[in-house]
Structure 1
């Protein structure tokens, strides 16, 4: 008997309903619920270590997964039920209730020993595979990789939002093998390292274990004896593309923007990864930013600060507003101009914070010097530091 025939005969004698603890006429929802409960109880992650009890749980997990793979699929379940009915009744030449000394290769071989025509191997070949475990497991869909890039935008664009073009070079499925990693035209077989699970259980020390991507198949579950000559078996290739990315209004310097589904392409129908854009904002010549508010330094002269003045200050929109300085305005005082800042996510607008900076002339002409000396004389020679540095104060 070939390995394929042995697998089929073995499956024909297994009661997958009993493995899952459900009745033969159980509905799909009940079967799924039973599978999830048993898988959670027996999963290697829930039963770490290499004790006899853990090994038994791991074996039980494989049995449950095998059972659900058949009866959890409507088409496979129908054919499995037909096979089991023939087996239990002695139909198609099965001895009733068991194989005994019966040669099941008569039923699962390419030809029935008693005469021409296909055996049950032909009838149920699409359930169990045409060769020994070559196609019983379909590769799981795999999510594409995330892609990182950066973009530099202007100060105004950061406040108002902007659409930019990004040139990306990313990992994508190999065009020659469509991401399988195998030489085109060849057929895969189940990975013997992970037994088709796509992962292996590795010990991290201290009695802890964790699932790791299978190093032999890279998580694909299937392996090829002949690797793809283009990607050398990796299943990946490099691709360059240009995408249009929308940077939302109000983005801050150094902020990381996530663009869902704009990353690397998935495998086997899996979703694409995400694109993460680190935004750098060029500084503005005049304005700064503090959260949702804009900041502005306003230079004023001594007489404007001392006597009061009306000073025109710019806004980011291009217009100007008049800032009224009261007499005796100190250096460093900040005035709030409402509604002239950055736009928030809810549509409201922050404020413009204008900070006064009193300018002291580096060079005085004769007339100005005389005026300042007259101010000093009128001030009576009093110093602002009187008593500041005296001991005990």
Structure 2
């Protein structure tokens, strides 16, 4: 099969404008139309002219044909043994006119069929295809306060969509999202109909937003439970105390630090975590904060403590 030069068939240059393509076609059609022409090869010439016009008048077909012609010009196909390389039409979609059907191109050449026949069949299949739109997924990061109390936020997403010619393009859109109270990391918020458009009149898909909660200066999250480090002084830990603690939903509560408390002791405030059918808890992890010995009074206090607890060895378990 030989590569066909559609520009030569119409007697025009490759740089010809759309208007020049139309004029060349009309001129040749008047000359070679079988109903009026006296030329012996009029019928064959008219088929070649129609085929060339079908390709060069269509912007997508012409662009794809030109790109393929450049590849052929650079070599890679023996003369008279042309076969379209796989994927040569990637990024192009070919549309039929309103009155064109499969029979309209039935008499075109094998060269035309090898290039555009399958592409047009794929396009027709896409146009007749019916299916619900594809679901999309994205991640959304929210503040802990939004997870606790609920909120409404605007988010901006970038997604690949197909333009009117079927080519992929990156588009940005802004959506309003209602965040329910008690949402937790890894949970999905579903936005119905915000996925990819459906085909053949079918509904659009959904958009699923995976919740991620931004790091908080006080609390960390484990499933529905919250954890906070609670600093206490050595005397509060040793003698016991009532200390004030901020809670995630706002306000302050008073908690009891038991006598002889050690660093790492975990105090539980039931139901003070993330909301849900079974609300999470808030855990306070005690951390003994030592006052600095940066003045005479503090140094004397540490010396007195050392004397009073001379028998205490915090490294006894190490065996040294």
* TM-score normalized with structure 1 length: 0.45
2:150 is matched with 161
1:81-230 correspondence to structure 2 within 5 Å: 139-170=128-159, 174-175=163-164
Contact 1:339 1:352 in 2 (8 A): yes
1:33-44 correspondence to structure 2 within 5 Å: none
Q: Deviations over 1:301-326 (max 9, x none)?
A: 10111111111111112211111112
Instruction: Provide structure 2 residue ranges, at least 5 long, that are not aligned to the other structure.
Output: 1-99, 105-123
Q: 1:365 aligns with which of 287, 295, 299?
A: 295
The answer to whether the aligner puts 1:385 opposite 2:315 as a matched pair is yes
Instruction: Provide structure 1 residue ranges, at least 5 long, that are not aligned to the other structure.
Output: 1-129, 176-230
1:202-351 correspondence to structure 2 within 5 Å: 231=165, 234=166, 240-253=172-185, 255-344=187-276, 346=277, 348-351=278-281
Q: Which has the higher contact order (CA 8 A, sep 6+)?
A: 1
- Structure 1 residues 306 and 236, CA gap change in structure 2 (3 angstroms): closer
Q: Deviations over 1:215-252 (max 9, x none)?
A: xxxxxxxxxxxxxxxx1xx3777665433223333333
Displacement of 1:341: 1.4
* TM-score normalized with structure 2 length: 0.54
- Structure 1 residues 336 and 139, CA gap change in structure 2 (3 angstroms): same
Q: Distance in 2 between matches of 1:364 and 1:166?
A: 50
SS of the equivalent of 2:128 reads coil
Displacement of 1:381: 4.0
Q: Count how many residue pairs are aligned between Structure 1 and Structure 2.
A: 202
2:32 is matched with none
Mean Cα displacement is larger for which, 262-271 or 249-258?
A: 249-258
Q: Deviations over 1:315-368 (max 9, x none)?
A: 112211111112111111011111221101x2x422211111101123342122
- Structure 1 residues 174 and 366, CA gap change in structure 2 (3 angstroms): closer
Q: Deviations over 1:48-105 (max 9, x none)?
A: xxxxxxxxxxxxxxxxxxxxxxxxxxxxxxxxxxxxxxxxxxxxxxxxxxxxxxxxxx
Displacement of 1:281: 1.9
Q: Distance in 2 between matches of 1:387 and 1:357?
A: 21
Displacement of 1:287: 1.8
Q: Distance in 1 between matches of 2:231 and 2:274?
A: 23
- Structure 1 residues 132 and 387, CA gap change in structure 2 (3 angstroms): closer
Aligned-residue CA RMSD (Å): 3.2
- Structure 1 residues 377 and 261, CA gap change in structure 2 (3 angstroms): same
Contact 1:170 1:264 in 2 (8 A): no
SS of the equivalent of 1:165 reads strand
Mean Cα displacement is larger for which, 286-295 or 159-168?
A: 159-168
Displacement of 1:299: 0.7
Contact 2:292 2:298 in 1 (8 A): no
- Structure 1 residues 168 and 354, CA gap change in structure 2 (3 angstroms): closer
- Structure 1 residues 383 and 258, CA gap change in structure 2 (3 angstroms): same
Displacement of 1:300: 0.6
- Structure 1 residues 261 and 133, CA gap change in structure 2 (3 angstroms): farther
Structure (1 or 2) with the greater helix fraction = 2
